[in-house]
Amino acid sequence: MSALLQTFGLTKQYSGLVAANNINFSLEAGKIHALIGPNGAGKTTFVGLLSGRIEATSGRVEFKGRDVTNLPAHERIRLGIAYTFQITSVFAKLSVFENVALAARVRIGSQPALVRKSVMQVLERLGIEAYHQHIAGDLSYGHQRLLEIAMGLSQSPELFIMDEPTQGLSDPEVEHYKALVKDLVGTTTILLIEHNMDVVMSTADEITVLNQGEVLASGSPDVVRANNEVQAAYLGTDPSQEST
């Protein structure tokens, strides 16, 4: 598989603080790639650099072989990058349908029949079509998270960045989410920023671990789980110190 997105020496510095330091990263098309790390590891900064919400100090971001380092977020959306935020960002006073329609129009324009068909197809895929007339702010937190995913999917992204999507969800909602993410593979490539290690280990094809703004490790779930540095920095144990 070819790389859909790559970074080369990507760095972000705020005065004397280096939030992302010389990050080289590659994400294969058609995969679920998880980004993990302790609080303050630089995950939010890195995702901001990928999506265009944060300007890089140095380095390069390539999407589908194109240098997008200097493109703003809305231009990267048009190229096929969608993302959900760590905190829900739905339009609380608009209906579920109107929320998704706003996002869909970015891709397909404003033709009413086409917009309606696209919106309802996405809502049906996520199992929330019955809520299409409900006001977004009246939905449960879990359904608001699904709505946000629907807004991203309506843009038919080639890369879908999900930032802490299971935060605040109940156990049954988390299980539903895991099944949903696996179902999306084949439709889009997913970069998952997640603290829930059960979600990461059961859904991700590849994992990259950030620590103090740098890549600590990258590989399959089994490789990352067995890495001593990852165990010490993030997972809280060191396999080399375990008794046999």
Domain count for the chain: 2
Q: Say how far apart CA 159 and CA 197 lie, in whole Å.
A: 22
Residue 243, pLDDT above cutoff 60 = no
What is the mean pLDDT of the segment spanning 36-61? 94
The distance between the two most distant Cα atoms of the chain, rounded to a whole number of Å, is: 66
Does residue 243 sit within a domain? Answer: no
Identify the domain boundary among 154, 188, 204: 154
CATH of the domain at 197: 3.40.50.300
Yes or no: say if 136 and 91 are a contact pair by the CB < 8 Å rule: yes
Per-residue model confidence as pLDDT tens digits over 177-224: 899 999 998 889 999 999 899 999 999 999 999 999 999 999 999 999
Yes or no: say if 28 and 2 are a contact pair by the CB < 8 Å rule: yes
48 phi-psi bin (left φ>0, alpha ψ -120 to 50, beta other): alpha
Instruction: Write down the pLDDT at residue 235.
Output: 59
Share of the chain above pLDDT 90, in %: 68
pTM: 0.89
181 and 228 inside one domain: yes
Does residue 72 sit within a domain? Answer: yes
Q: Say how far apart CA 84 and CA 183 lie, in whole Å.
A: 17
Instruction: Write down the pLDDT at residue 202.
Output: 94
146 and 169 inside one domain: no
69 and 177 inside one domain: yes
SS3 62: strand
Per-residue model confidence as pLDDT tens digits over 130-152: 999 999 999 998 899 899 999 99
Instruction: Write down the pLDDT at residue 164.
Output: 86
* 86 confidence band (pLDDT: 50, 70, 90): low
Per-residue model confidence as pLDDT tens digits over 88-122: 678 999 999 999 999 899 888 889 999 999 999 99
Does residue 104 sit within a domain? Answer: yes
